[in-house]
Amino acid sequence: MPKIKPSKGVPYARILGVGGYRPNRVVPNEVILEKIDSSDEWIRSRSGIETRHWANAEETVAAMSVEASGKAIADAGISAEQIGAVIVSTVTHFKQTPAVATEIADKLGTARAAAFDISAGCAGFGYGLTLAKGMIAEGSAEYVLVIGVERLSDLTDLEDRATAFLFGDGAGAVVVGPSTEPGIGPTVWGSEGDKSETIKQTVPWTDYREGEVERFPAITQEGQAVFRWAVFEMAKVAKEALDAAGLSPDELDVFIPHQANERIIDSMVKTLKLPESVTVARDVRTTGNTSAASIPLAMERLLATGEAKSGDTALVIGFGAGLVYAATVVTLP
C-alpha cells in the first residue's frame, strides 16, 4: 500500500493583522429605558454598559464582515488573493444556507478560498482561531481569515429587563498566518451541554413559522447562573490556558476576555490575581456584548488606542451559549 504524502504545513502560526467594524448608530442606555422599567445607573452598575452600536439595514452581517476583514488584510500586509480559508463565527446570519462566509470570501476577492460558518456563540472567535492554527500547521492554507460578526439587535427582546440592555452589533476579523515561533498557544476549550438552558433562543424558528408563538425568537438567559459559571469556572479555564502556554499571570501584558459584562471581567481579574501592569479590555462599556465579535473588536481597539502594542502577550477567553468556552494565549499583531 502506498504511503500518503505528508502535508506541507509550518509548525507555528500567529495573528498578523486585525480589523473591526462598529455600526454608525450609537445607542445610549436612555433608548433601552424606553421599553423596560430600569435606570441608567442600574444598567451601568450591573453590566458596565453605557452605549452599544446597532446596525441599519445596509450594515448586514456580510457587509460588516467585509469592512472589518479589509482592515485586517491591510494590517497583515497581504492581499485578499492570498487568503486560503475564511471562517465566520456568527449566530445572526438568518439564512441556513449558503454560509455567509462564501459571500464574504467572494466580495473580498479571494482566489476561491475555502469558506464556512461556525456556531459557537461567544466562544466562536476562539474556536475559529484554533481551526485556523490547525489549517496552517496542516498546510491546507497559508493565510486564514477568522471573523466574528453579529447583529444581535435582531435577536434582542427589548422588553426583557434582563437582556434588553446587553447586546450590540459589530464585526471583528483577524488574519492568521505562518510564524517562525509560537504566536498562538494551546487552546483550552470545551462545552457543558447540561447547562444549555441558561443561554438560549426563546423558541425554534419553526414555532414562529407555524404560528405557535407570535413573538419573533430572541436570546434569553438566566443571568445569575451565567454570572456564577463565568466568574468561577471560566477563571479556571483562563488559568489552564496560561499554564498550557507556560506563562504566569506576571508574564502577561494584556487580558482580553469576552466582553459580556464588566462585573464578570472584574471578578476574573481578581480571581486570576492579575497584576496592575496587565492591560484589561473593557470595550463592553461602549460596544456592549457582541458575542463572537467581542474579542477581535476589543483587540483592535486596544491596539488602535495604544493601550496595547504589537508583540504583547495576551490571554483571550470566550464563553457563552452552549455552554461553550475557548481560551488561549496569543502574540498581538
223 pLDDT above the threshold of 90: no
Q: Known catalytic residue: 122?
A: yes
In this structure, are residues 123 and 88 in contact, taking their beta carbons and an 8 Å threshold?
Answer: no
pLDDT for 212: 87
Residue type, 295: I
pLDDT in tens, 68-100: 999 999 999 999 999 999 999 999 999 999 999
Could you give the 3-state DSSP secondary structure of residue 314?
strand
In this structure, are residues 300 and 19 in contact, taking their beta carbons and an 8 Å threshold?
Answer: yes
Could you give the 3-state DSSP secondary structure of residue 36?
coil
Q: Known catalytic residue: 53?
A: no
Q: Known catalytic residue: 261?
A: no
Q: Which has the closest alpha carbon to 55: 224, 148, 170, 204?
A: 170
Rounded alpha-carbon distances, angstroms, from residue 67 to 3, 21, 60, 62, 129: 44, 6, 11, 9, 19
161 pLDDT above the threshold of 80: yes
6 pLDDT above the threshold of 80: no
- The DSSP annotation for 160-216 comes to -TTTTTTB-EEEEEEEEEEESS--B---EEEE-GGGGGGEEESS-HHHHHTTS-SSP
pLDDT for 149: 98
Helix, strand, coil percent values for the chain (each to nearest 5):
40, 25, 35
Provide mean pLDDT across the span 25-49. Answer: 96
pLDDT for 315: 98
In this structure, are residues 196 and 95 in contact, taking their beta carbons and an 8 Å threshold?
Answer: no
324 pLDDT above the threshold of 80: yes
5 pLDDT above the threshold of 80: no
Cell of 185: 498557544
User: Which entry of 53, 93, 261, 289 is annotated as an active-site residue?
Assistant: 289
Could you give the 3-state DSSP secondary structure of residue 112?
coil
Q: What contacts 42, CB < 8 A, 6 or more positions away?
A: none
- Distance between CA atoms of residues 129 and 216, nearest Å: 32
pLDDT for 270: 96
Report helix angle 294-305 to 124-138, nearest 10. Answer: 80
- Distance between CA atoms of residues 181 and 139, nearest Å: 16
User: Which entry of 53, 93, 258, 261 is annotated as an active-site residue?
Assistant: 258
What pLDDT band is residue 272 in, cutting at 50, 70 and 90? very high
Q: What is the mean pLDDT of the chain?
A: 95
Cell of 214: 407570535
pLDDT for 121: 94
What pLDDT band is residue 205 in, cutting at 50, 70 and 90? confident
User: Which entry of 29, 93, 122, 261 is annotated as an active-site residue?
Assistant: 122
pLDDT for 243: 97
In terms of Cβ atoms closer than 10 Å to its own Cβ (0-12, 13-18, 19+), residue 95 is exposed
pLDDT for 22: 98
Provide mean pLDDT across the span 3-20. Answer: 89
Q: Rounded to two decimals, what is the model's pTM?
A: 0.96
In this structure, are residues 244 and 273 in contact, taking their beta carbons and an 8 Å threshold?
Answer: no
pLDDT for 207: 87
What pLDDT band is residue 191 in, cutting at 50, 70 and 90? very high
Lowest mean pLDDT among 142-146, 200-204, 261-265: 200-204
Share of the chain above pLDDT 70, in %: 100
- Distance between CA atoms of residues 147 and 132, nearest Å: 11
